[in-house]
Amino acid sequence: MKRYNDYSAYIRRRFGGRVQKISVNAGFTCPNRDGTKGTGGCAFCNNSTFNPDYCDPRRSVGRQLDDGIAFFSPKYQAQNYLAYFQAYSNTYGDTAAVLAKYREALAHPKVCGLVIGTRPDCLADDLLDALADMAREVYVAVELGAESCSDATLSAINRGHTWAETCAAVNRLAERRIAVGLHMIMGLPGESREFMLSEADTLSALPVDFLKLHQLQIVSGSLFAGRYASSPESFVLWRPDDYADFCVDFAERLNPRIIIERFVSQAPRGMVLAPQWDIKNFEFTHLVDSLFLRRDTWQGRALGFGLDSLPA
pLDDT tens-digit map of 149-163: 999 999 999 888 999
Average pLDDT in the chain: 92
Q: Which residue has the higher pLDDT, 53 or 167?
A: 167
- Confidence band, pLDDT 50/70/90 cuts, at residue 133: very high
Question: From CA 142, how far away is CA 291, in angstroms rounded?
Answer: 30
- Confidence band, pLDDT 50/70/90 cuts, at residue 123: very high
Largest CA distance in the chain: 52
What whole-number percentage of the chain has pLDDT above 70? Answer: 97
The pTM for the full model equals 0.93
pLDDT at 51: 63
Listed range (35-49, 191-205, 263-277) with the worst mean pLDDT? 35-49
pLDDT at 96: 96
- Confidence band, pLDDT 50/70/90 cuts, at residue 28: confident
pLDDT tens-digit map of 254-286: 999 999 999 999 888 889 999 999 999 999 999
| Residue 24 and residue 84 in contact, taking contact as beta carbons nearer than 8 Å | yes
- Confidence band, pLDDT 50/70/90 cuts, at residue 87: confident
CATH of 7-300, one of 3.20.20, 3.40.50, 3.30.70, 3.30.160: 3.20.20
Listed range (64-68, 287-291, 295-299) with the worst mean pLDDT? 64-68
pLDDT tens-digit map of 246-255: 999 999 999 9
Question: From CA 94, how far away is CA 127, in angstroms rounded?
Answer: 9
Question: From CA 257, how far away is CA 207, in angstroms rounded?
Answer: 10
pLDDT tens-digit map of 5-26: 999 999 999 999 889 999 999 8
Residues, the chain, total?
Answer: 312
Nearest to 240 by CA among 181, 299, 186: 186
